[in-house]
Structure 1
Amino acid sequence: MPETTPPKSLFDDIYAGGAAPWVIGEPQPAIVDLARRGAVRGAVLDAGCGAGEHTILLTELGHDVLGIDFSARAVELARRNAADRGVAARFEVADATRLDGGPRFDTVIDSALFHVFDADDRARYVDSLRSVCRPGAVVHLLALSDAGRGFGPQVSEADIRTAFADGWVVESLGATTYRGVVGPAHTEALGLPVGARVDEPAWLARMRLS
């Protein structure tokens, strides 16, 4: 797990450099599968939307979805990607640990946001989600697993269960993979060249607000 949550400036710099290892030009396969199985319903929040691939996908499928990211550069990129594809997707700059506005979401998609937080920010994040989710809302969480090789921040099954212990029911939590692009910082740990695609161990969890 991360010792401290990385600062927003780090993510701004990574997006500005155009080499974010989690930007793969397509949605994560695990999220695509959720959409195909009808696991996404109602008003949707894409928390930590990054380049906007999941917000764009779900908008194309007819969902009412809002993508948020605390990096303004990420939101700029997401809006460009949506415009390039002719999709009227909605994006806002927002801190997912400090959401407000009352309950309005039925589904939350979290692809690689939870795992960047330290324990304190994970608690704040889950409380923040609770404040904007309707009763019975579902969070689908895709996070790098502690079984991985160091592609990015990693969390354990216990980290997820602990964060969602109060007021949530963990309906499922199992192993899957997270797709990324190898960057210079990962070549030694992964034994792969820069630019290679990699599918790393991840958790896919489903939590329901009780």
Structure 2
Amino acid sequence: MTQLPEFWNVAYDNDTAPWLIGEPQPAIVGLEAAGLIRGRVLDPGCGGGEHTILLTRLGYDVLGVDLSPSAVAYASRNAAEKGVPQARFRAVDMLRIGTDPEIATALGHFDTIVDSALFHVFREDPTARAAYVDALHTLAAPGGVVHILALSDAGPGFGPRISDTLIRESFTAGWDIEELRAASYRGRADVAPAGTAGLPVGADGTVEGAAWLARIRRL
């Protein structure tokens, strides 16, 4: 079952989220460096706001959204502390977009959507997963690209890990999966489940878990 905002609020209010590493995921930094992010950008499940902050600093028109009001507040503070107070964040339930067209209208369309560790949250909830994929299709401009960084079950890792098959089966009609490859996801070694996965701990106090990185074009 998909968790309610209150579940996620606790992680931000108490700073106990394994994904709050204080910097963007290297895989997302690599996407930008490779020129794979363009136009208007959406960062769904923005969490602590690291990717919205990064892309705002680089001059992109980007909006970070999250189900958790505490995440939005955390991201806003984070942006101000990092000297990017213009970074924009908004509390949005992505699963309501299909049933509340006003949300989609207010958000508009995006040329690039960067999903870092949100899609895999819906691994055991096919109804929510389908609603999320539909929301991505609604918000992506025709020809737009969705990048998904998701925890992988194909190697050592932590958290809600998924197979590449789940990604392929979720993005069918209306989508073209241009690339789906192995990657890694960085988490905090002092917080479970990342800290209990038995992975080597880096000098910065993080661990690297297996992940998938997908580039999916909206037809």
- Per the TM superposition, whether the score is higher than 0.5 is yes
Q: Deviations over 1:61-82 (max 9, x none)?
A: 1100000000000000100011
Aligned identity (percent) is 52
Residues 1:19 and 2:16 are matched in the alignment: yes
Note the 1:91-106 alignment, pairs <5 A. 91-99=89-97, 100-101=104-105, 103-106=108-111
Note the 1:109-148 alignment, pairs <5 A. 109-117=114-122, 118-148=125-155
Note the 1:193-204 alignment, pairs <5 A. 196-204=205-213
Is the Cα–Cα contact under 8 Å of residues 97 and 126 in structure 1 kept in the other structure? no
Letter in 2 for 1:207: I
Distance 1:185 1:154 in 2: 12
Q: Deviations over 1:162-189 (max 9, x none)?
A: 1111100000000000000132445444
Task: State the 4+ residue runs in structure 1 displaced beyond 3 angstroms.
Answer: 184-189
Give the TM-score of the pair, scaled to structure 1: 0.92
Distance 2:150 2:199 in 1: 22
Moved more, 83-92 or 38-47: 83-92
Distance 1:204 1:53 in 2: 18
| Partner in structure 1 of residue 54 of structure 2 | 57
Note the 1:159-178 alignment, pairs <5 A. 159-178=166-185
Q: 1:85 to 1:149 in 2, by over 3 A?
A: same
Q: 1:191 to 1:38 in 2, by over 3 A?
A: closer
Moved more, 149-158 or 84-93: 149-158
Is the Cα–Cα contact under 8 Å of residues 152 and 163 in structure 2 kept in the other structure? yes
Structure 1 counterpart SS, 2:20: coil
Give the TM-score of the pair, scaled to structure 2: 0.89
Distance 2:188 2:195 in 1: 10
Q: Deviations over 1:16-43 (max 9, x none)?
A: 1112100000000000000111100010
Distance 1:77 1:175 in 2: 30
| Partner in structure 2 of residue 157 of structure 1 | 164
Is the Cα–Cα contact under 8 Å of residues 177 and 214 in structure 2 kept in the other structure? yes
Distance 2:71 2:96 in 1: 18
Is the Cα–Cα contact under 8 Å of residues 27 and 53 in structure 1 kept in the other structure? yes
Q: 1:169 to 1:16 in 2, by over 3 A?
A: same
Give the alignment partner of residue 108 of structure 1, picking from 113, 121, 126.
113
Is the Cα–Cα contact under 8 Å of residues 148 and 154 in structure 1 kept in the other structure? no
Structure 1 counterpart SS, 2:95: coil
